[in-house]
Chain A
Amino acid sequence: MSPTLDRRRFLSLLGCSAAAFPLMTPMSFAALPSDNRLVVVILRGAMDGLDALQPYGDPDLAGLRPDFDVGPAAGAIDLTGFHAMHPSLAPLRPLWQAGHLGFVQAVSTPYRDKRSHFDGQDILEAGTAGEVPPLTNRDGWLNRLLPLLPGATGRTAFAVGRDEMLILRGNAAHSSWAPDARLDLAPATADLLLHAYHDDPLFRENAEAALGFAGSSAEDEGRKTDALFAFAAAQLRQDARIAALSLGGWDSHRGQPRQIARGLDALAGGLLRLRADLGADWDRTMVIAMTEFGRTAFQNGTMGTDHGTGGTMILGGGALRGGQVWGDWPGLAESQLLDRRDVMPTRDVRAHAAWALHGLFGVERAALETTVFPDLDMGPSPGLLA
């Protein structure tokens, strides 16, 4: 299918059914809860924060990781004279300089000791105070946020991609879409399909939405993750204000240098895709990339790192007051590590997420500390927003 055909198909669908197609009705614009946007990227598998943001000024780092490339001398991009970012993040240098990129160091969820990916991700997405959410009726913190946003609809928040996104699961209506679930119907077949669906609203309305999405996502080219970010940007330019998606491949027990480079390339590409596709809306957007926990401070015997605790959060977007690294640095001397192995977390990762929600959407602190993130003490504002 050629792009022109897609667009025509898309427009003709709108023409025949604008009333039943909520993405485009002027009413839905009037009801938007806020002009700000939030993108949450779950980095599944535990990103090594010490490699993404290298605290090369810490005298112990090089000794803990003798075989890894560390610091500006090995190609990393110096940021603060103490921190350097991994070479794969080099394309983001202009963002750092513009204040559209920042990091939070030594953060983690309240999860301790067990270091299981599944539990860690469940806790990160459920936003609990450290307990694994129950198997039944579990819900995510972005879902619990939605009822707190005046005027939020089922299209305010999108789960993008094929991965199950617990962060958005729950009672509040939201949308989901996998850009690679591409619907490749000939225009005539699509017309006949809508003819057959005419009298069944459940099928008709969802088919109209599916054909509309498929039309816009058929124009995305390139890699799968690029398509995820492109789709998220396309939705955020319309009614959506929140998008959540997953990037996997961070569990670098072996051959970390190659593996983390692949992940950071994809993340950097995704941020640049968001900036390009969001256009003017980039300035009202904040991106939070968070992972279930960090990795061991020292390298292991297979050029990798194992499951740890304190990790790094990557923040982006034009709404960010970036160009800085937030959070207290606990140090890497043996006595400063947690269990003599992990970066000691100095703050709850949920606090930063909560301050972002407060700043972007005006959600009251009391609701953030109970409903959205149970038993959270947000502490003083880190001043995340520009």
Chain B
Amino acid sequence: MIPTLAAIRFGTGLSPDLPPPDGAADLLARLDGPDEMAERFPVPDWNTRMDLIRRHGRLRRARREDPAAAEEYKKINRRLHTIYHRDLRQTMMRAIVTRDGLRERLTWFWAGHFAVADGGGYLRRSVAAYHDAAIRPHVAGRFGDLLFAAVTHPAMLTYLDQEKSIGPNSPRGRRGGGLNENLAREVLELHTLGAGAPYSQTDVRELAKLLTGLSVTRDGRFRWVRNMVEPGAETVLGETYGDETPNRHDIAAVLSDLAVHPATARHLSAKIARHFIADDPPADLIEAMTGTWLDTDGSLPAVYGAMLDHPAAWAPELRKVRRPLDFMAAALRVTDSGSELEAARGIRPLREGLTDPLTLMGQPWLRPSGPDGWPEEGTAWITPQGLAARLGWAMDLGRRQKPALDPRLLVETALGPLAGDRVRFAAGAAEDRAAGIGLILASPEFQRR
């Protein structure tokens, strides 16, 4: 039972040919190793995309007068569109063939925690590159490093308006513009301390002043602009940072302190436990993780280890519902659909097979509805509409298996000891193989973890 739970609760699910992790030690050992999937299934990097976006913007203005520009604009638009769908394919490919599923799951989790939504401008079809650059390399490191990388990435600076925030008494500020508190507020409320923590509007304001200078160049690169920095020291949660001389290390210092604040440790330990274990995790689990966080200065593998040490991590009851992305990845993995996905030509099969269904299930690709990311509770996902979309997609995936797998075997591969009598019966009694496969993927055991 332990390897099965390790694969589905902490990984991307069972696979017909890749063995599940043995247990906690194996999960953590793989996480400590190299990130093989990012190398094997790369996506275009941030700067490549910024160059495309820059050209996209120029051509959009030029196209009205110039037919050649209009043609070029169409091409580049298509290119960006293709990248968006291929990003999802790469995400799925990583989940399908990995032996280190915890890394994928953590990447999704922390990408949701530091949510940035696809949109216009620098955020046009670029968010997957932010995930690969700022989130993924840090999911197995110190939380402070992850926090700094995410909060200072151009994607986040754009999404939460930091690049427009100007210290009112800075050289730039004296010519106009002003402070924007958006990022500072979300850093405290969402990224670190949590909404209920004891901080005040003054702390938000002071942090906003401290973050001034973080900005983005015209071609989408990070830049620190000395003459936007609000002069003088700022006090956040009683700690004083900086002086009259602008210094970017003050920002590193305040984020580093926030990363190991007791409220942050508690807020994020609870959030991790809610994500992996149960919508209402046991109090002593959160306690143990919080303690480890504080003892290790926010070493994430140590915190994951504390979670995996708790008996709740290995309770056979499946208390969580897989989110749509997680559900689709697990279904593609267990049906060994990787080669079909890799062989897909053009974006249409990707759009119809992955992107559109994900939207219908309620998790539009890279487009969370706000900086607070995706909902956690199962009831937010299993609605008549969301479930209908899952069922429709699962049945369709069943129909696409050629040659069709034998459902009586698949039920073992997909669920192992977790398969209940009812799903075993349904798998065996289905009117054809396709329906049997669909029913297994649609079963509560498969949609939960």
Contact = CB atoms under 8 A, between A and B. Distances in A.
**Do A and B share a complex?**
yes
Interface of A: 135-138, 162, 164, 175-178, 181-186, 188-189, 192-193, 195-200, 202-203, 206-207, 209-210, 213-214
A186 B382 contact: no
B371 A136 contact: yes
Given A136-B190, A136-B370, A196-B444, A189 B439 contact: yes
Given A196-B444, A203-B382, A206-B383, A181 B360 contact: yes
Given A192-B426, A193-B426, A203-B444, A210 B384 contact: yes
13 contacts: A136-B190, A175-B384, A177-B385, A181-B385, A184-B392, A185-B391, A192-B435, A196-B442, A199-B422, A202-B382, A206-B384, A206-B386, A210-B388
A189 B382 contact: no
Contacts of B369: 164
B391 A183 contact: yes
B385 A178 contact: yes
B372 interface: yes
B158 interface: no
B337 interface: no
A215 to B, nearest CB: 11
A178 to B, nearest CB: 6
Contacts of B392: 181-184
A135 B438 contact: no
B334 interface: no
A183 B431 CA distance: 17
A366 B186 CA distance: 33
B355 interface: no
A193 B387 CA distance: 12
Given A185-B395, A207-B387, A192 B444 contact: no
B269 interface: no
A168 B388 CA distance: 21
B301 to A, nearest CB: 30
- Which 9 pairs show the lowest CB-CB distances between chains A and B? A209-B384, A210-B388, A200-B444, A192-B426, A135-B370, A210-B384, A196-B426, A183-B388, A206-B387
Given A135-B370, A136-B190, A206-B384, A186 B391 contact: no
Contacts of B420: 199
A198 B422 contact: yes
Contacts of A137: 372
B447 interface: yes
A210 B389 CA distance: 9
Nearest to B448: A200
* Among A188, A198, A199, A200, residue most surrounded by chain B Cβ atoms (within 10 Å): A200
B68 interface: no
Given A135-B370, A135-B371, A189-B435, A213 B384 contact: yes
Interface string B373-394: 0000011001111111101100
Given A135-B371, A136-B370, A182-B392, A206 B439 contact: no
A202 B430 contact: no
B12 interface: no
Interface in B178-209: 186, 189-190
B413 interface: no
Contacts of B443: 196-197
B423 interface: yes
Contacts of A196: 422-423, 425-426, 439, 442-444
Contacts of A164: 369
Contacts of A177: 384-385
Interface in B416-449: 420, 422-423, 425-426, 429-431, 435, 438-439, 442-444, 447
* Among B321, B391, B438, residue most surrounded by chain A Cβ atoms (within 10 Å): B391
B359 interface: yes
A195 B422 contact: yes
A13 to B, nearest CB: 13
A54 to B, nearest CB: 28
B444 A197 contact: yes
A209 B369 CA distance: 25
